[in-house]
Amino acid sequence: MDIKHSHGQESPSGGIHHEVRDVDARPIAVIGVGLFALVLVSIGLMWGLFEVLEKHEEAVDSKPTGIMAERPKEPPQPRLQTTSVPVLKGILANENALLSSYGWINEKTGTVRIPIQRAMELLAERGLPARPESGQ
């Protein structure tokens, strides 16, 4: 098989050959310049749009009146706690004292409170109460 290139030499490997001319750079450069110009035009249009919208906002925007003009110095009641950590520590200390001590819940009905650790031991020994089987 005789393959000739445009420059007059035969292909050394028979049917395999390479491109002999370069890519035309002019269309690539035109596309690149066109894209750059498109980006610049888009940036300019967006800047102009923002300017128009900002002027429109200033024209439409009204000054605050009534309650909005006279804002209170402090928020209304109830306010958030400013010292929540000490308060929380006190609450946790009280709850831990209740969980780890004996005491009356209702002395008239005979309801008592026992430490949580002891309650878990009793539950492990005795198990949970079960419902009686229905004979149906």
pLDDT attached to residue 9 = 56
- pLDDT-derived band at 6 (thresholds 50, 70, 90) equals low
Give tens-digit pLDDT for 50-76: 999 999 988 887 777 776 777 777 777
Confirm if 46 and 54 have CB atoms less than 8 A apart. Answer: no
Of all helices (H) and strands (E), which one includes residue 111? strand 111-113
More confident residue, 80 or 64: 80
- pLDDT-derived band at 40 (thresholds 50, 70, 90) equals very high
Amino acid at position 8, single letter: G
pLDDT attached to residue 60 = 82
SS3 state of residue 119: helix
75/72 Cα distance (integer angstroms):
7
Confirm if 11 and 17 have CB atoms less than 8 A apart. Answer: yes
Facing residues of 103 across strands?
113
Average of per-residue pLDDT values in the chain: 84
pLDDT attached to residue 87 = 85
> In the chain, which ranges are continuous DSSP H helix?
25-60, 84-99, 116-126
